[in-house]
Structure 1
Amino acid sequence: MIAPARLNPTTRGDALIQMESDVVDVVVIGGGVTGAGVALDAATRGLSVALVEARDLAAGTSSRSSKLIHGGLRYLEQLNIALVSEALRERALLLDTLCPHLVRPVPFLFPLTHRGWERAYVGTGMVLYDTLGGARRAVPRHRHLTRRAALRAVPALRPDALVGAIQYWDAQVDDARHTMFVARTAAHYGALIATSARVTGLLREGDRVAGVRVHDLEGGGQIDVRARQTINAAGVWTDDIQAMAGGRGQLSVRPSKGIHLLVPRDRIHATTGLILRTESSVLFVIPWGSHWIVGTTDTDWNLDLAHPAASSADIDYLLTHVNQVLRTPLTTDDITGVYAGLRPLLSGESEDSSQLSREHAVVSPLPGLTMVAGGKYTTYRVMARDAVDAVAHGLNRSVPPSCTDRVPLLGADGYPALWNAREALARSAGIHVARVEHLLTRYGTLTQEVLALVRQRPELARPVRGADTYLAAEAVYAASHEGALHLDDVLTRRTRISIETWDRGLEAAADVAELVAPELGWDRQTIDVEIGHYQARVAAERESQQQADDQTADAARLGAPDVRTGGRSLLGRSEPAHS
């Protein structure tokens, strides 16, 4: 039977009860895009699936990427044709079939700084990029621009910063929302999903891994989830899970920190994104609604994995490099938001993290345990398919091949038609068409569910205080349908209020807490605790971004405790108003 597509405290509680009572075919450790993809792949093959995540969906790497769905031009330069071709095939699938409501084309300008040879060299690469993996079907072809044409497209560029340019197309996504949609689609096909569920050990039957022991960080209890096969998709925490298996494993993941800045759209006058060479990698300036995302760095990180911190040195690095080509330099006063994430790179011989492999690996160090690591966001579906293929032979039954290349995510079916009807939809809902367009690019056809809330409760048609891009209904929906359990989940991942507002969401926090309280069963004390946790997090992040190096930045960031401590029980609260 197909399970409800909602994720909320009630469905989470039901999932934990069922996980404890049943033996599932596959238990997945990790609620990032790879783990969610594994859950979806397994569920759509007819397998019973449980997914457990220590914090929130996409709480780690999968909410802190460059928000790009791309083949990777620099991997083409490294002659990794197979990786680029695979990624471009996935890009086309995501754009055309799987989630056109979440992934959309975006143009980039590549400034040329040398006459003659560079245009021929880069142009040859762009021809390949346009054709590998059927790429031409998904986005427009590249085009060559004179310096004058390039400056018309990006008046913010200094005239002496280029001699010409090439414009090409890739795609972008709100990574956290996409990951949530993958998990929610997995739930739609029967997967059991539980966040705030930390794996504390592996269950064993002799030498065989037979499931996981899980600490419920909301209720405070502990359960055993028994499974015929266990898949570790924990990303940068892969080695921690390997340690639970006695240190036996064939993967070594090396975290690499990347930070990004958000600046208002009016700070860079341009109609296209930018890609710039640096001494070690590339730097992107990416259009993001009313902002630009500037990133990224690529440095080793061996400190706290849950809350990587951006230092002032990281921020200065990005500003220095982007300002080399801008007429009007950016300053720290222009920065609206900052976020830092960790790439789970497979360790290699190179000491330079920017040169480590973006290929993924699937290994089975023990009977019943499979690990998948490495890769890049764009190819999450391939990673998931390979991981489920690896465990299929251990299930002693016939397992169908993967079909996720033909299974659209929730919100995708009928999306083009609903987009075409957006003006009529706006009239019927009594809101501006721009609001409906915003909703369609975040929810697809599930926009109807959000608007149903507005019709039931007209007061939810107002903007969130302090973050007027978002409707109050979106905060409520995040808790009632999208699995948000804490204020931070709503402000940081279901929305991007934490990085899109000048005050990092401090004003919005009180409003959103009041909105989600009935859905999450919060009393007045819990509302105040949640707001306090969020305020402490913002203060710690601001403090860390004033520090000169990773060590002091990490220490400052850890000054704010994690809201998921396992010591605060949900028992005794009133039941959510909606389930």
Structure 2
Amino acid sequence: MTMKPHAQFLGPQERVTAWERLGKDHFDVIVIGGGVVGAGIALDASTRGLRVALVEARDLASGTSSRSSKMFHGGLRYLEQLEFGLVREALHERELSLSKLAPHLVKPLRFLYPLTHRAWERPYVAAGLVLYDSMGGAKSVPGQRHLTRAGALRLAPGLRRSSLIGGVSYYDTVVDDARHTMTVARTAAHYGAVIRTSTQVVGFLREADRVVGVKVRDSDDGRTSEVRGHVVINSTGVWTDEVQALSRQRGRFHVRASKGVHIVVPRDRIVSDAAIILRTPTSVLFVIPWDTHWIIGTTDTDWNLDLAHPAATKADIDYILDRVNKVLVTPLTHDDIDGVYAGLRPLLAGESDDTSKLSREHAVARIAPGLVGIAGGKYTTYRVMAYDAVDEAAQDIPARVSPSITEKVPLLGADGYFALVNQAVQLAEKYGVHPYRVKYLLNRYGSLIDEVMSLAADDPSLIQPITEAPSYLRLEAVYAVAAEGAVHLDDILARRTRISIEYSDRGVACAEEVARLAAPVLGWDETQIRREVDTYRARVEAEIRSQTQPDDEAADALRAAAPEPRPEILEPVPVEN
């Protein structure tokens, strides 16, 4: 491998150095949680010149941040709930990411809103979209456009004629949430943050009434250490209450988990040139183009079982199929489904018993001297949540803390992206691949593409596609472990790539090839390769079986029985709210 290591690398050697620094250095800010909010806090704090450590028990984005609806969206439906501030804030953040912070990852996406009621619905939707556009929804993308029934069906021929009387089109965005979160974390590392995954917080350090750090345990080998700092920020999403309980401090808020399930079907099963948003009795259903697939979801139900591995049931999948089939010319069946995933939204508890109406706003609180908690919010506003958390933590940091500047800090891969897109043909000649492949790589790595492709300099076979997952090149698996912090096979197949939801075998067919690509970098022997492949296959089998079960309890029992890739991880004790 000819890549020269950089500060933003999260490879095996960097993991060794990070563990040493966790036990030796004194930090200004210690962040618990490697989801998008935790990664955002690490970036915000490090770019203010603070000394930062982030620890994550599993993988970057392994929880909610890899299981969203894959949109950096403005929250159009929150207008109905009169949450104007949230929508304005979300649209501002969407525009920032689309145009400056992450244009290689966040892409504009045209939506069709089918109208089903005469007289009142078109002016009602139009009024909402006028407000939406005026708040920033049409700053760098087209505004709303009204369509007749014929016009809507030309845009989406796969819709049943009887399912609509007209339509309205507007724009939002699509993003690979897991890659975006990982990129935020790598950008934080670039600015000096110590980022370490497979590092679980198992306790808090105290001096009198002050929290002065955390006790951590390596989720792979069981080693323990102590990390000291001026302030600890709990940004663990649906695990907020469990981590809070470790501190033995009374929390200022509680978090409820709402399960959202999505299905993934091949692109040719629905004929449409736009994403589709459908109203349901309780919420909305999105049909979102995802390269060669559609992602369809979501559900919104209370979840009180395993937080790490929420399970989709047959009832969840049937609900999605039933709702989408009401409007499709050619109905979808279970046989059409290539992938299924379930995620948990961390909702602030207390506003309502109905999870679909719980607040998407976030809350920040100083739980005790040296301990700050943040919860709630939505993926799109991660940057706002991050700077609010660091602002709150600033009172526990002795030195003066500079204001947040992340509005001006592009993520890794953003600088130069637009110019490289225009040079796709020349880059294709340089790398010896088709221009479509270059554009695809640019939309995953941005201006880091040269760094990624340099892996093939010593081993030209790495430029070939993965045999059973040809959307991805072999070198992408190597880069995932060399630079992007992947530690296990599941990290590569489920988050650095999305093979686990994009292929009907869920990645089982390519598991061994990918494991053997990762092995030399991670130092795996034959025994470890076998363990990684067997563990991944067991996870997939458990998920598929759980998706045939009638209820959450039965599905959870099957999914929870699968082995963990990280053998030393400890399950937190559930907290009764």
Tell me the TM-score range normalised by the shorter chain: over 0.9
Is the Cα contact below 8 Å between 1:51 and 1:193 reproduced in 2?
yes
Corresponding position of 1:451: 453
Number of residue pairs the alignment of both structures matches: 566
1:91 to 86, 94, 114: 94
1:214 to 213, 216, 219: 216
The C-alpha deviation readout for 1:530-554, integer Å capped at 9, x for no partner, is 0000000000000000000000000
Higher alpha-carbon deviation: 452-461 or 518-527: 452-461
The C-alpha deviation readout for 1:479-513, integer Å capped at 9, x for no partner, is 00000000000000000000100100011101100
> Which amino acid letter does the alignment assign opposite residue 65 of structure 1?
S
1:279-358 matched pairs, under 5 angstroms: 279-358=281-360
The C-alpha deviation readout for 1:218-251, integer Å capped at 9, x for no partner, is 2321000001000000000000111012141111
> Structure 1 CA distance, aligned partners of 2:497 and 2:193?
24
Is the Cα contact below 8 Å between 1:3 and 1:189 reproduced in 2?
no
> Structure 2 CA distance, aligned partners of 1:528 and 1:103?
36
The C-alpha deviation readout for 1:410-462, integer Å capped at 9, x for no partner, is 00001100111011000011111111111000000001111111233211011
> Structure 2 CA distance, aligned partners of 1:478 and 1:3?
14
Is the Cα contact below 8 Å between 2:465 and 2:474 reproduced in 1?
yes
In the alignment, is residue 30 of structure 1 matched against residue 33 of structure 2? yes
Corresponding position of 2:575: none
Corresponding position of 1:255: 257
Give the SS at the match of 1:431.
coil
User: RMSD between aligned alpha carbons?
Assistant: 1.1
Is the Cα contact below 8 Å between 1:257 and 1:298 reproduced in 2?
yes
Corresponding position of 2:74: 71
> Structure 2 CA distance, aligned partners of 1:440 and 1:73?
29
Give the SS at the match of 1:397.
coil
The C-alpha deviation readout for 1:125-160, integer Å capped at 9, x for no partner, is 01111120x332222111000000100111111101
The C-alpha deviation readout for 1:57-115, integer Å capped at 9, x for no partner, is 00000000000011111111111100000000000000001000000000110000111
Corresponding position of 1:517: 519
The C-alpha deviation readout for 1:315-349, integer Å capped at 9, x for no partner, is 00000000000011000000000000000000023
Corresponding position of 1:565: 567
> Structure 1 CA distance, aligned partners of 2:461 and 2:444?
21
Is the Cα contact below 8 Å between 1:3 and 1:187 reproduced in 2?
no
Corresponding position of 1:18: 21
In the alignment, is residue 81 of structure 1 matched against residue 84 of structure 2? yes
Higher alpha-carbon deviation: 476-485 or 237-246: 237-246
Give the SS at the match of 2:138.
helix
1:177-256 matched pairs, under 5 angstroms: 177-256=179-258
1:129 to 129, 132, 140: 132
Is the Cα contact below 8 Å between 1:64 and 1:339 reproduced in 2?
yes
> Structure 2 CA distance, aligned partners of 1:135 and 1:318?
28
1:438-517 matched pairs, under 5 angstroms: 438-517=440-519
> Which amino acid letter does the alignment assign opposite residue 253 of structure 1?
V
In the alignment, is residue 413 of structure 1 matched against residue 415 of structure 2? yes
Question: How far is 1:394 from its partner?
Answer: 1.6
Is the Cα contact below 8 Å between 1:454 and 1:473 reproduced in 2?
yes
> Structure 1 CA distance, aligned partners of 2:543 and 2:377?
28
Corresponding position of 1:269: 271
> Structure 2 CA distance, aligned partners of 1:183 and 1:566?
24
Is the Cα contact below 8 Å between 1:210 and 1:228 reproduced in 2?
yes
The C-alpha deviation readout for 1:187-228, integer Å capped at 9, x for no partner, is 000000110000000111111000100001223210000010
Corresponding position of 1:140: 142
Question: How far is 1:365 from its partner?
Answer: 1.3
Corresponding position of 2:58: 55
Distance 1:3 1:241, change over 3 A: farther
Question: How far is 1:566 from its partner?
Answer: 1.6
Question: How far is 1:294 from its partner?
Answer: 0.3
Give the gaps of 5 or more residues in structure 2: 571-577
The C-alpha deviation readout for 1:12-59, integer Å capped at 9, x for no partner, is 110110110011000000000000000000000000000000000000
In the alignment, is residue 380 of structure 1 matched against residue 369 of structure 2? no
In the alignment, is residue 115 of structure 1 matched against residue 137 of structure 2? no
Question: How far is 1:567 from its partner?
Answer: 8.0
Corresponding position of 1:175: 177
Is the Cα contact below 8 Å between 2:249 and 2:368 reproduced in 1?
no
Higher alpha-carbon deviation: 374-383 or 450-459: 450-459
Question: How far is 1:358 from its partner?
Answer: 0.2
> Which amino acid letter does the alignment assign opposite residue 457 of structure 1?
D
Corresponding position of 2:425: 423
Shift >3 Å, 4+ stretches: none
Is the Cα contact below 8 Å between 2:212 and 2:231 reproduced in 1?
yes
1:42 to 21, 45, 68: 45
Identity %: 60
> Structure 2 CA distance, aligned partners of 1:224 and 1:3?
27
Is the Cα contact below 8 Å between 2:200 and 2:569 reproduced in 1?
no
Corresponding position of 2:574: none
> Structure 2 CA distance, aligned partners of 1:229 and 1:349?
29
> Which amino acid letter does the alignment assign opposite residue 137 of structure 1?
K
Is the Cα contact below 8 Å between 2:137 and 2:171 reproduced in 1?
no
> Structure 2 CA distance, aligned partners of 1:214 and 1:144?
55
> Structure 1 CA distance, aligned partners of 2:254 and 2:241?
7
The C-alpha deviation readout for 1:344-382, integer Å capped at 9, x for no partner, is 000023111000000000001110000010000000000
Distance 1:567 1:209, change over 3 A: closer
> Structure 1 CA distance, aligned partners of 2:354 and 2:253?
18
> Structure 1 CA distance, aligned partners of 2:99 and 2:32?
30
> Structure 1 CA distance, aligned partners of 2:439 and 2:460?
19
> Structure 1 CA distance, aligned partners of 2:514 and 2:527?
15
